[in-house]
Amino acid sequence: MSWYDRHVLPRLIEWAMHDRRIARYRKPVLAAASGRVLEIGFGTGANLPYYPAQIKQLDIVEPHTGISARAARHIAASDIDVVPHCLGAERLPFGSGSFDTVVSTFTLCSIPAVGAALDEVRRVLKPGGRFVFLEHGLSPEPAIARWQHRLTPLQKRIGGGCHLDRPVRELIETAGLTIEPEKFDQRYAAKLPRLVGWLTSGVAVRN
């Protein structure tokens, strides 16, 4: 792991993921979490304050060991018992049908083999289990999308593999998860640049 990955990237992740401009979108999305919960791409723990009160334990997957010290402070301040697994989401160490809910917020952008990770999400969900997501991705505006494609190679280098231009809904549906229309939403986040502010959120079910 490079010096940048150890010292700079964790600070950038914490600054971006705890930004109040996106924090407002977390609680409504996480309200759908129930039962046994897995969060992929835990980061520094920005979701912890927004889980429903009935969530007492949380399994987390996070491959970036450099953020663990920053995450530890947020875990210590939370009432949730966090069980960490330091690995990527492409091969999850859980049996099929292990979880009632899998959560992903601002994570699908940076997973190298995102299709494989979503296949794993579907596998570890129980039948009828929920994939709860809040992600940024490819804008529907052609002019914005063109810039997202152009800038993604640079963004990947400075943002820990983050892609600006992933089609979130298409990726989820390709994995065989069924999005619940009444809980699905796409919009630009208020006060964020449109290059990074097209948000897709909702709940998808494993049938």
SS3 of 122-140: the string is: HHHEEEEEEEEEEEECCCC
pLDDT in tens, 135-168: 999 999 999 999 999 999 999 999 999 999 999 9
The 10s digit of each residue's pLDDT in 85-98 is 999 999 999 999 99
Query: What pLDDT score was predicted for residue 14?
Result: 80
Chain-wide mean pLDDT for the chain? 94
Q: How many CB atoms lie within 10 A of CB 156?
A: 16
pTM: 0.94
Best CA proximity match to 168, nearest among 127, 96, 101, 110: 110
Answer whether residue 9 shows pLDDT above 80.
Answer: no
Q: Return the DSSP state at 6.
A: I
150-154 long-range contacts (CB < 8 A, ≥24 apart) are: 151/195
> Is the predicted pLDDT of residue 67 greater than 80, yes or no?
no
Domains of the chain: 3-205 (3.40.50.150)
Please report, as a single letter, which amino acid is at residue 162: C
Residue 199's alpha-carbon distances to 100, 123, 170, 192, in angstroms, are 24, 25, 14, 10
What average pLDDT does the segment 3-28 reach?
Answer: 84
